[in-house]
Structure 1
């Protein structure tokens, strides 16, 4: 009986021992977490229940390139020691986009590290492979350091190719960035000719050639095209380039504005190029052939011409007509022409 009573009394003791053990373990875990949250100089010897961990890098102290592990080691570097990728596929960085990213970094911190490498021609510096926009955003905030990953890529082709792929993974560079970057890598013999470049970027030679031709445009036009790249595609840009070749910067700028505002289509650009090409191929100036001309203007801005010719032709050209109004205007013009045609025989009879 005594033995049975002793066994009953032993059970609570065992339960208490188990609870005490769990409580002790929780306390040890909490102590370890509290210890990690303390500044490094206040950290004591870690509990025996957890292996000691290497302290994290101290903020605002850059690890020298020579001591960093290539391909994946994240550390902090001084922004002042960063050099832009000399073969960066992206040329245009709208300030509004940089400021948007700066606000995001200020609110959420830097999630993804930039990628850098070291080149012998820039001793003690970090050459950017990917992360130019993050670098500009950090710099605009007045920050001195940025998180980076060191890579071992050093050839010009590697610098371009990795940045090209990284841009595609994030926000792809525009065709206008490509135009300038592709000309640069060809001029510097990073790729010996267009076929090698086309193969590397996964495009056919005709596409690459058309993009490269955009370098004939003035920088301000290219910058505006890049700003509205969602509205100006390669075909529109190419026709504007042809208009620039034949009629100059003013006409090219006007047509670009019409495209951005949705007032001119690719087909209309193509027709404009054809009109510019036909007179030059005949070797005659159009102004010497028409009989009368009437200019349509609004607020001092011309939006078309009506010309009559000695041989009986009438030429009407209207530009920058909003797409939503084109069909209605065309219907009215057809109505006028049909009315005139139907009335013409009776007029001849009366005469």
Structure 2
């Protein structure tokens, strides 16, 4: 008995791509739906991953080992003050590497004395210790930080938000603080972990006491410890600052907000992926429609191949292969478009460009699955055509 010749991978690829080569415009239009769906999915995952990577980079740069101790509330709601020696007490805790402190002042800062005192612009005035900048891992946009020399005189360092609101662009200008003029010696860069410092005018600890009536009690103590001792230090800070009433001291972690944001990044990714999946499904319907039309148009070809010995299985394989190639081309184009969109978004926002490998592999796998499903019915229909009837229809 005669047996039909088998088709190797090369022959299968050749016959499967014949329909695509003959109708390039239809191929482009059919693959476009698949490309849009995959591009949407890749871009959604890539943008979310890039944004999360940027947050993690910020956390690595800023560190998650900083704690802030502030006064709590007394048992009867009375005002609580931290001891003047509190920064030194915190600095003696084992594992603490850096300590900085600020103290709130009941004075206002204005561009000039002619501006009403009530118009504060949301800017506060704080006494600042010399070690504050290092503890916050801050940097100067311009000028210098407070030190033991300029911290004794009427000099002030402005947070970048405070400088913008006061209209100060460079050191050397003066602002009115508590009824007298202070010289701006520096302007800080943004401090994501200390937004209260960004909106503050900072004066030296000594000058605050001698010129502005500061009582020396800190209202916020910032400390940096080793990563391994953060949790232990957090438990020890209240007892070290106020051994008799540790409940009067509140300890917070400023980096927790960024950590929570990084953890929740991509909350809406599932919804957007669903929209991309709908677009991909619509593209799959378009591929199925294209394949059905292709079967109807190529009945003579199918009948001729069947009459020359091609089996039904080989006809099915031909059209499933054609559907897979069509979907695969759309998937490759969609991956490229999604990666390009992610790159453009990341470059515009100063983010690292991240496209997860699992998203690329999953997206391309989805296109192959869609192509298989979309081509299965047309392939079965083509295989069931009678060679005699197919040749007579021409």
Asked whether the two chains share a fold, i.e. TM above 0.5, the reply is no
What TM-score results when the alignment is normalised by the length of structure 1? 0.24
**Normalised TM-score (structure 2):** 0.22
